[in-house]
Amino acid sequence: MELQGHERCVSRVPIFSHLEMDELEEVFQRINHQNMKKGEYLFMAGDRSSSLFVIHKGKVRIYRLNDNGEEQLIRVLTHSDFTGELSLFSADEESKSYAEVLEDAEVCGINREDIYGLMQKYPDISIKIIESFAERLNDSESLTTNISLLNSREKLIEYIRTHTENDKLILNMTKKNLASYLSMQPETLTRTFKKLENEGVIKKINNKTYDILK
């Protein structure tokens, strides 16, 4: 069987990737596929959305607002990430976060009844979801610890440490969003980057790329 179109959307996602062909086929039949434009929202706070969304292509940012309307970036989704789970799996809960498309995206959705049915039938799917959740929870709790206990210099250092590959830091979001993620002001982030540059720790290549020197 040759996979094509939206089928690929799912077969490469860790949640489903271990399934046999005929099992995958069963998943495909329950998928709805949609193209979304930059600026559109998969869901917003207050929605009782009942779909699990798998990002096949593009970029989506998840954020929350506090009572004053200030944003906290939760994460940025790219290929094979999924979301929508919080309101999907919490009994009768409405979403507390926003999912905004940052770059034109292809998104696959599976609705509540179908995903529950699949989990019942294929326990491995649940296990994959659990493992993915465990990792997310880990990240989330690390983020909590970091943004609350570190000063802005330490936050940025920690972010660089965990996102550097081959001595290069390539940002997959704007500095404005990174500032929100690290819970500081864009001005502070700029100043902290500059401070590290003056100390010879990093070297700016362009707005999205830094060399990590030591």
Q: Which stretch binds a second copy (CB under 8 A): 32-40, 139-147, 192-200, 202-210?
A: 139-147
Q: How does strand 32-36 pair with strand 97-111?
A: antiparallel
Q: How does strand 71-77 pair with strand 51-65?
A: antiparallel
73 in Cβ contact with 147 (< 8 Å) = no
143 binds DNA (CB under 7 A): no
189 binds DNA (CB under 7 A): yes
Residue of 113, 107, 91 lying closest to 30 (CA atoms): 113
Beta strands in 112-187 (DSSP E): 164-165, 168-170
153 binds DNA (CB under 7 A): yes
| 188/207 Cα distance (integer angstroms) | 16
44 binds a second copy (CB under 8 A): no
112 binds a second copy (CB under 8 A): no
Q: Which of residues 141-170 bind a second copy (CB under 8 A)?
A: 141-150, 154
- The token pair at 65 is 């607002």
Residue 160 contacts which entry, DNA, a second copy, none (Cβ below 5-8 A, type-dependent) = none
**Residue ranges that bind a second copy, judged by CB under 8 A:** 64-68, 70, 72, 74, 85-86, 88-91, 93, 96-97, 116, 119-121, 123-124, 126-127, 129-131, 133-138, 140-150, 154, 183
